[in-house]
Amino acid sequence: MKKELGLYIHIPFCERKCAYCDFLSGPAKQEEKERYVEALLEEIRSYDGKMDEYEVSTIFIGGGTPSSLEQEAIVSIMEAVYQTFPIVNRDKMGRRIKDESKDVEITIECNPGTLTKEKAEAYLSCGINRLSMGLQSTVNEELKMLGRIHTYEEFLHNYELVREAGFVNVNLDLMSALPGQTLKTWEETLDKVLALKPEHISAYSLIIEEGTPFDAMYGEDGPKKDLIPDEETDRAMYELTKEKLEAAGYYRYEISNYARKGYECQHNIGYWKRTEYLGLGLGASSLVKKQRFHNTNDQEAYRKNCRNQELLREEVTTLTKNDEMEEFMFLGLRLCNGVEKEEFKKAFGCPVEEVYGTVIPKLVEENLIFETPERIFLTPYGLDVSNAVFSEFLLE
């Protein structure tokens, strides 16, 4: 039986760098984009015949803004993937093998202002079946402050054309605790988004990343740091999110992710369950055969070595058994249904209690985790302070 594999494909381009973003991305001229896609296609094809022990169950085209590329580039990327990798329920042309069978989940990230009807239709035609849109807020003043290129009205136009094109699995990204944001404006965003009935909502609290324009303006030493909502307001936004989304029929399956039943993001669940995944493209990270590594972040080096996987890879780390057990716990506990004790025993050959025999009772007593005969999962309080809980599972 073939092993399950996720593919992540990185597109490092966007129309304009957002003020809060520290991802490996930025604006580029058309010529640079074309050279990058040529190199990416070469990297994809370099895996021909080398991953036949796997079957790809999820594909995620992320960025950056993949929709900033011409649709022909995305179609070419997907054609190369189908021809190179064994894909769940797809042939070498990308066609479904059996309509009634489980299908590969293929997601593309899109930002409003870069989408057209032609692009959406092209995505569907090459087998992409899930769209993730970066909305962040429905308040135009907040969007402008974030450095987004779109207004809420432009987002609505893009959302409508995506639905008209035929997409039935759409995620919307939202962001709370923004500078100057109030509980009222956050509630406005939640209400407007719920009225649109997307299948999935990712709701994150803003993290001010070091070295970004936001850090200079709103960080600990920034002149406008007082505009960041205080802890009490941030907490109220968090509670309001959970209350409103659950009342509207979305269930929380991960710390920051809500979905209607059957529309959970399988690719991200793969990360949290430590399914092996291969990253393709500039800076893309991988977990393959107990090794974590990422491709070079240097564009010139990437283009030069795109056919040579060994030269592309940096920071190659072979995980120890302790590393894997730590990851099993603190990644798996991000999921609201937690980790299965039997899965731990299968993976590591010993009961979880044998490794964490003092940690688990302590966290249960502190009301941070629940324990049943089958599972361990975070309590509502544990979800709130999850990073502190995760640190308890680090081994010496």
Secondary structure (H, E, C), the chain? CCEEEEEEEEECECCCCCCCCCCCCECCCHHHHHHHHHHHHHHHHCCCCCCCCEEEEEEEEEECCHHHCCHHHHHHHHHHHHHHCCECCECCCCCECCCCCCCCEEEEEECCCCCCHHHHHHHHHCCCCEEEEEEECCCHHHHHHHCCCCCHHHHHHHHHHHHHHCCCCEEEEEEECCCCCCHHHHHHHHHHHHHHCCCEEEEEECCCCCCCHHHHHHCCCCCCHHHCCCHHHHHHHHHHHHHHHHHCCCEEEECCEEECCCCCCHHHHHHHCCCCEEEECCCCEEEECCEEEEECCCHHHHHHHCCCHHHHEEEEEECCHHHHHHHHHHHHCCECCCEEHHHHHHHHCCCHHHHHCCHHHHHHHCCCEEECCCEEEECHHHHHCHHHHHHCCCCC
Domain 321-391 has CATH 2.40.50: no
67 Cβ contact partners less than 8 Å away, ≥ 6 residues apart: 108, 109, 110, 111, 114, 115, 119
Nearest alpha-carbon partner for 139 in 181, 172, 111, 202: 181
pLDDT at residue number 82: 98
pLDDT at residue number 81: 98
Write the CA distances from 292 to 12, 59, 102, 136, 287, integer angstroms. 21, 18, 28, 31, 5
Q: Which fold has domain 3-272?
A: Transcription Regulator spoIIAA (3.30.750)
59 Cβ contact partners less than 8 Å away, ≥ 6 residues apart: 6, 7, 8, 9, 81, 87, 104, 105, 106, 107, 267
Nearest alpha-carbon partner for 258 in 195, 158, 335: 335
pLDDT at residue number 99: 81
pLDDT at residue number 349: 97
**Which stretches of the chain score pLDDT less than 70?**
none
pTM metric for this prediction: 0.96
pLDDT at residue number 210: 86
Q: Where are the domains of the chain?
A: 3-272, 321-391
Nearest alpha-carbon partner for 27 in 174, 205, 147: 147
Separation between Cα atoms, residue 288 and residue 291, nearest integer Å = 5
The order of strands in the sheet holding 375-378 is 339-340, 375-378, 369-371
pLDDT at residue number 54: 97
pLDDT at residue number 225: 87
Strand 130-136 vs strand 170-176: parallel, antiparallel, or unpaired? parallel
pLDDT at residue number 185: 97
Tens digits of residue pLDDT in 198-214 = 999 999 999 888 888 88
Separation between Cα atoms, residue 16 and residue 108, nearest integer Å = 19
200 Cβ contact partners less than 8 Å away, ≥ 6 residues apart: 132, 169, 170, 171, 172, 257, 258, 259, 260, 263, 264, 265
Tens digits of residue pLDDT in 101-133 = 789 999 999 999 899 999 999 999 999 999 999
Separation between Cα atoms, residue 183 and residue 215, nearest integer Å = 22
Read off the amino acid at residue 338.
G
